[in-house]
Amino acid sequence: MIVPLDRVPDEAFAQRLAGDGIAIDPLSDRVLAPCDARVLQVHRANHAVTLAARGLEIIIHVGLDTVMLKGEGFTPLVKAGDEVRTGDPLLAFDADLVARRARSLLTEIVVANVERVAAIEPAAGPVTAARDVLMRIRLVDAPAAETASAPPREESIASAPIIVKCSAGLHARPAATLAAAARRFTADVRLVKNGHEANARSVVSTMALEVAAGDAVTVVARGDDASDAVATLAELLATDLDAGYAPAPQPSPPSAARPETLARPTTEGVLQGVPASPGIAIGNAFQLRDDDLVPEERAADPNRERRALDAAIAAACRQLDALRERLEREGRAGEGAIFAAHRELLEDPALVDAADAGIRAGASAAHAWRQAYCAQVDRLRSLDNPLLAARGADLRDVGRRVLHLLVGGDGAPREVPPDSIVIAEELAPSDIASLDRARVVGVCTTMGSATSHAAILARGLGIPAVAGMDPRALALPTGTRVVLDGDAGLLDTAPDAARMARIAERQAADARRRASELAAAASPAITRDGHRVEVVANIGDVDGAHRVPEVGGEGVGLLRSEFLFLHRHAAPDEDEQTRSYEAVARALGPERILVIRTLDVGGDKALPYLAVADEANPFLGERGVRLTLNHPALFRAQIRAILRASVSGRVAMMFPMIATLAEWRAAREMVERERAELGVPAVPVGIMVETAAAALMAERFAREADFFSIGTNDLTQYTLAMDRSNPRLAPQLDALHPAVLRLIERTVDGAHAHGRWVGVCGAAAGDIAAVPVLVGLGVDELSADVPLVPAVKARVRTLSLEACRATAREALDASDGAAVREIVRRRHG
């Protein structure tokens, strides 16, 4: 399979520093000559061969970081000076060993002397070695290299001898870095070792010099900018040009507990992510995709099943594209390429045809699909070739993805063993909903951030969670004993006994604190100087509502109504919604407020039955109230259901993502019309403040809206222009940034000017450090995830309003979120 060079996760190749060409994701363990050529060099680590053909210097480089294997696993089949014909074997490698011990098996084939090339047209998709064309190369008319390499006449400048630092010597990557630096100068630059000379602009020439770590090399240059060139290259040679690249993994100790696939552990097996839900958990890794779903076998309508299969495959392709694009944006093109390969597998007609045959024979889409991909997986695995077996694993993964889409949302609980730390790429709300909560002690996802919906759900359940985790976590075998630190965002894959003991101590202290907070939870949250703050809860379903009174919640500040809409094939009708809202209202009783947010999808949450045109920026697109206003029948049914349920409790309604008065008025008008039609009493109707527009216009909105609820998750994302689902931005995505605080201040002032109340329902409301600042800014209500309610109440009781106001004043003037957190630490501990 051809992989474009810019998807190779190594900048020397991706940025074409080593030359231009292609990469190959190989299916065989032999490298064949791609053309008739003369062998210029076989690298002493045997992982790379350089060929000369028609004036071109072609580097064939097997895998990434394979130089570190120092020849292990490679068998050269040619030597320098040999003439080879297309298809002749150049070298063989132990694919299993190299795949386990190196960063990647991607094999680069690049033309190093690009000055001879006018254009390169790479092929795409699957290719067969020595049969298919890999790339078409058009040469420049006159070989410019002749003059470039002609011995220069000016006087030369030479450096002192430099001891080369690179631990693996000047192999392809450092040679490429040197060549790129040398090409910035007009001077002719040479590297000299033991009287042998290499043109520093040429990767091949530098590699042929066979410079090892510790060798002495002199840089000699001639030309106008010779002294600058010498200084630059000398400096580069004296640094470790491989620094910043992870060293090759050491062989795994022969222990069953240490996974072979976790080939490159970071410091002592600790993997890094982003804190998403507080607390620390000790448990056994459970890979969520490890379970095999057993779908219904038969189905009555083959046409319907075929349509369902097509839709699931299309949805899986979209997921894979999104995953790849995201990884590429994050500079992880290599991992992204894996998903591109998964997508190709999905397009394999043999697979789809086999599933189709099953469907025509009366099988359900899910069953037929499962039979089809499992048969292929078994076939691949039975072949005595580790690379094809690895393809089998890929096919299994992608097959499951489609299967999950076909049977997802059936609500069947997953069989999770006790004490599980669930590890997954991403958890959809339905995934968490279908887990046996009593058995899950931690959640770890490789995607997302603290404000992604999986994190919100984990906080709602009081389960420690880490998002944006190093993807190597996905390679941990189910059952590995691990520690998940939701405060520091770490997964310790090999905790030692001393650490386990410290954790057990910390868990015990946390449990004692939580018990005392819970014991006091029923009392109101009143500051030391007598100011009362309402502390309510965020919930996402009826279950959550039952837990609110137990934790001292004074109501619900945010019911995310999406729970009724996600993971199904059609929207719930008005009656079904009414019954659900009534159930929530009744669980809370007549005293506790229930603020129901109307449907908030779009952005990162899609509904299969609500078509949204493809959007370049979904978070800035048809989202929240914009989407529901564009689907009036759906919106009306929800509004009517909320109004009908309002007689069962103390119900209020609010709209997400309001940016303009026009949106607010259109939504409000619909409520009025339906209320008059139903003949029920008025309910408070408010807006969520999640956009800078709503915050800045708060006073204007306050003339009309009954209340405000600040969604700090989105308000922070939009104010700082940082995607809340991007784990790389998570450390800066802080709701305590003064820019966000200023918008909160403005919202509170606008609302209070008209006697309206303001709540905060974003994650900041449950952040103990944020509580004094929000109270000081005048927020009336804090709506936190259910398990955090007792801690928020306890925190309020330790504060005085006056001190909080002073804290808020100082915070508004701080430079960033970290500075605000420092102020809070100093003033309130």
Active site residues: 453, 761
- Quote the radius of gyration of the chain (alpha carbons, Å): 31
Residue count, binding to ligand PEP (CB under 6 A): 12
List of residues contacting Mg ion (CB under 5 A): 690, 711, 714
Residue 10 binds which of ligand PEP, Mg ion, none (CB < 5-8 A, kind-dependent): none
Q: How far is the CB of 289 from ligand PEP (least distance, A)?
A: 26
Question: Is the distance from CB of 358 to CB of 372 less than 8 angstroms?
Answer: yes
Q: Does 711 bind ligand PEP (CB under 6 A)?
A: yes
- Residue 690 beta carbon to Mg ion: minimum distance, rounded to whole angstroms: 5
Given the complex with ligand PEP, which of 425 and 714 has the nearer CB atom?
Answer: 714
d(CA 625, CA 717): 17
Which of 600, 734, 745, 780 lies at the binding interface for ligand PEP (CB under 6 A)? 600
Q: Which is nearer to Mg ion, 283 or 711 (CB)?
A: 711
- Partner touching 762 among Mg ion, ligand PEP, none, CB below 5 to 8 Å by kind: ligand PEP
Shortest distance in whole angstroms from residue 567 CB to ligand PEP: 16
Q: Helix (H, G, I), strand (E, B), or coil: what is residue 420? A: strand
Residue ranges in 742-781 that form contacts with ligand PEP under rule CB under 6 A: 761-762
Least CB distance from residue 170 to Mg ion, whole Å? Answer: 52
Pair of tokens at residue 139: 């040469």
Encoded one letter per residue, x for contact with ligand PEP by CB under 6 A and - for no contact, window 518-557 reads: ----------------------------------------
Decide: is 712 part of the binding site for ligand PEP (CB under 6 A).
yes
Q: Is 288 in the site for ligand PEP (CB under 6 A)?
A: no
Task: Rule CB under 6 A: say whether 560 interacts with ligand PEP.
Answer: yes
List the 74-76 sheet strands across, edge first: 30-32, 89-93, 74-76
Q: What span, in angstroms and rounded, lies between the C-alpha atoms of 647 and 660? A: 30
Candidates 66-74, 99-107, 509-517, 709-717: pick the segment binding ligand PEP (CB under 6 A). 709-717
Determine contact, residues 221/185, Cβ cutoff 8 Å: yes
- For 49, residues 6+ apart whose C-beta sits below 8 A from its C-beta are 31, 39, 41, 42, 43, 59, 60, 76, 78, 90, 91
Mark the segment that binds ligand PEP (CB under 6 A) among 54-62, 214-222, 712-720, 739-747: 712-720
761 binds, among ligand PEP, Mg ion, none (CB under 5 to 8 A by kind): ligand PEP
| Strands across the sheet containing 2-4 | 2-4, 20-24, 107-111, 56-61, 48-53, 37-42, 83-84
Range in contact with ligand PEP (rule: CB under 6 A) among 15-23, 136-144, 165-173, 707-715: 707-715
**Could you tell me the CA-to-CA distances from 160 to 155, 238, 458 in Å, in that order?**
16, 11, 60
Collapsed DSSP state (helix, strand, coil) of residue 221: strand
Q: Which stretch binds ligand PEP (CB under 6 A): 236-244, 437-445, 706-714, 748-756?
A: 706-714
Nearer to ligand PEP, 446 or 712 (CB): 712
Q: How far is the CB of 538 from ligand PEP (least distance, A)?
A: 7
Q: What is the dihedral of CA 95, 96, 101, 104, to 10 degrees?
A: 50
Residue with tokens 């009954």: 706
Rounded CA separation 362/443 (Å): 39
Residue in 55, 440, 497, 482 with CA at minimum distance from that of residue 277: 440
Task: Tell me the closest approach of the beta carbon of residue 652 to Mg ion, in angstroms.
Answer: 17
Instruction: Return d(Cα 602, Cα 562) in angstroms, integer.
Output: 11
**Torsions phi, psi of 225, nearest 5?**
-100, 35
Kindly state whether residue 713 participates in binding ligand PEP, applying the rule CB under 6 A: yes
Judged by CB under 6 A, the residue of 57, 714, 745, 780 near ligand PEP is: 714
Contact 127, 134 (CB under 8 A): yes
Question: x/- string (CB under 6 A) for ligand PEP, residues 665-704?
Answer: -------------------------x--------------
SS3 call for 10: coil
- Residue 425 binds to ligand PEP (criterion: CB under 6 A): no
Q: For binding to ligand PEP (CB under 6 A), which residues are involved?
A: 451, 456, 558, 560, 600, 690, 711-714, 761-762
